[in-house]
Structures are given as C-alpha cells and as structure tokens.
Amino acid sequence: MARVAVVCMSNMNRSMEAHRILRRKGFRVRSFGAGSRVRLPGTARNLPVVYDFSTTYEEMRKDLARKDRERYTSNGILHILGRNERIKPRPERFQECRDRFDVIFTCEESVYDRVIEELWAQEQETCQPVHVINVDMDDTAEDATLGAFIICELCERLQQAEDMEGSLAELLLAAERKTGRSFLHTPDNPEAIVGVERKLPLPPHIVSTNPQVPGFLSRHIYLPVNFPGVKALGTQYHGALNANHS
C-alpha cells in the first residue's frame, strides 16, 4: 500500500480532515504543516493566534476555551481541535520529517512550493520516486472535506492501478475533468512536458532533460538526478524561489 502524506500550512484543518478520511479508509497516511508556526484565527484577520508545532491540540483547545469559549466554538476551531486530538497528539512540521512517501498531497500552491523546496534541500537517501500533487482547497471546513474526498478518491484509484507510475498522469486528467480543478504534480516523464511560460536562470546543480529548455528554469523545472528519491522527475512550479516564507 502506498505511503501517503498530506500537507497544509498549519496541520490543523485541511491536512487533518484528509488524514481522518484516509485513515478511516485504511490508508497509511501522515499529515503535516509546512509553515514555521501554527496559526489560527484570532480576534482580527491580521491578528492570528500563534502556537509552536510542539504545542499539543489539547493544549491549544484548553487555551482558546479559556480565552474566549464562545468565539472559538462559533467559528469551529474548538471542534476542529477536538477532532485532531482523536487522530494524533500534536501538529507536525513537514520540514522536520525524514520519512519517505510514495505520494505527497499539498492543499495549496504555496505549500506545494515549500514541500518541493524542502525535498530539493534534503540529501539523497533512497532512489525511490515521490510524486507531489497539489489539490487546491480553501481553508474552510466545507472545502477541506471536499478536498479530502478528492484526495481519497485519487488514492483509491492509484491503489487499484497496476502501474502507479504509468497511471498517475491519466488519473489526474480524469480527476480534472470530473472536478473542474487543475492539479499541480510531478509527472514521471518530464520529457513529455511541452511549453514554456517564463524563463529564469537554471541553477547549476539542476539537470535539464528538456531540449526545449536548455539552461533555463521555466514553469516546468527538472529536479537534479540526486534529488532525494526522485528519478529525474519533473514538476510544475508556480512559486518564486525567493518568496518570503512565514
């Protein structure tokens, strides 16, 4: 069975809803956040409540209930924290994990960028390919559930496929037609990608296998041969390498 990871920003809502549903279906799944700290809605949009990833869900729930039980009950945060407690003790940060996965699902484009960046920075330990797929979803309870079911269906179809490597692109295209959503992903055959939307200088340690993009980094980048667990896989890349990450 494939080893699956789901990553959102704070390991609070979207990744945990997917974790809940995938675990219920029997998948080997872990969930993570890719931010520097856990951020929850506060008294104002620009004043989030911030916790370290080492803080348990129970500690967060008790702290928020003490501060303003009515507010955090009405906005659903206490309910979410209670659900999370039943799944695992505390949020986990993707950048601190060294486990290997067959498929990593991200819940928004900026998280996808951070996951790709982190995998890129890690030292090579295995030669096993990893697919990173972004399923964009709003950070609301409703869209988290919808996105979780999309991720679950993709996992079920990948599990049924005789050749996951060869079936992934076709499965994603079918899912795009069904849901009306587009998915960023790491295709197994980077040579098949056509089209350049913008060009940036290609870092010297990147091996470009696309003759149409000699010496340049475009929307489609090609990971180095020694990229951890990646066999010259390509990835659609929409983010800026020098983004100001929180």
Q: Same domain, yes or no, for 71 and 187?
A: no
CATH of residue 161's domain is: 3.40.50.2300
Domain that holds residue 11: 1-35+94-246
- For 36, 93, 122, 201, the CA distances from 96, given in Å and listed in that order, are 11, 6, 11, 29
Q: Same domain, yes or no, for 161 and 192?
A: yes
Q: Same domain, yes or no, for 165 and 45?
A: no
How many domains are contained in the chain?
A: 2
Q: Same domain, yes or no, for 43 and 151?
A: no
Q: Same domain, yes or no, for 61 and 169?
A: no
Q: Same domain, yes or no, for 112 and 15?
A: yes
Q: Same domain, yes or no, for 3 and 81?
A: no
pLDDT (0 to 100) of residue 73: 96
Q: Same domain, yes or no, for 110 and 196?
A: yes
pLDDT (0 to 100) of residue 140: 94
H helix or E strand, kind and range, residue 106: strand 103-106
| Low pLDDT (below 70) residues in the chain | 123-129, 164-166, 182, 184-246
pLDDT (0 to 100) of residue 125: 53
Measured CA to CA, the distance from residue 127 to residue 130 in angstroms comes to: 9
pLDDT (0 to 100) of residue 64: 97
Q: Nearest-5° angle of CA 187, CA 19, CA 50?
A: 100
Residue ending a domain, choose from 92, 110, 140: 92
Residue ending a domain, choose from 92, 116, 131: 92
End-to-end CA distance of the chain: 34
Q: Nearest-5° angle of CA 96, CA 98, CA 99?
A: 125
Residue ending a domain, choose from 26, 60, 92: 92
Q: Same domain, yes or no, for 43 and 112?
A: no
pLDDT (0 to 100) of residue 218: 29
Tokens of 224: 């180095």
**What is the value of pTM for the model shown?**
0.74
Measured CA to CA, the distance from residue 182 to residue 167 in angstroms comes to: 17
- For 84, 105, 117, 180, the CA distances from 137, given in Å and listed in that order, are 19, 12, 21, 13
pLDDT (0 to 100) of residue 121: 76
Class of residue 64 by CB neighbours under 10 A (exposed 0-12, middle 13-18, buried 19+): buried
pLDDT (0 to 100) of residue 195: 27
Q: Same domain, yes or no, for 52 and 162?
A: no
pLDDT (0 to 100) of residue 45: 79
On whether the CB atoms of residues 229 and 127 are closer than 8 A, the answer is: yes
Q: Same domain, yes or no, for 82 and 176?
A: no
Q: Same domain, yes or no, for 45 and 72?
A: yes
